[in-house]
Amino acid sequence: MRTDITAVWPPEMFAPAAAVPLGRIGEADDFVGPALWLATEASAYVTGVLLRVDGGAFRQMS
C-alpha cells in the first residue's frame, strides 16, 4: 500500500505490484469502501471472516 513511508522507496520496490491482477499497488482510498461497509449494519451478520483488500494478489499466489 502506498503511504508517506513508501513514497521514499525506490521504484524497484514496487515491481511485484505488476503481478497483482489489478496491476497496481493499493492506495489508502482502496480501503475506504470495505472499512465503511464493515462499520454499517449491512455487515451485521459477517463474523470471523478475513476480508482481503489486496487487488487479487492473494488469489494470484494460490
Instruction: For 31, list phi and psi in degrees, rounded to 5.
Output: -95, -10
**Rounded distance, CA 60 to CA 37, Å?**
25
pLDDT at site 61: 63
Q: Which SS3 state, helix, strand or coil, does residue 18 take?
A: helix
Tell me how many degrees the CA angle 3-16-6 measures, rounded to the nearest 5: 15
- Mean pLDDT along residues 35-52: 94
Q: Where are the domains of the chain?
A: 6-61
pLDDT at site 44: 96
pLDDT digits (tens, 9 = 90+) for 7-43: 899 989 888 888 889 888 899 999 999 999 999 999 9
Tracing cell 449491512 back to the chain, one arrives at 42
Q: Residue 33 has what DSSP assignment?
A: H
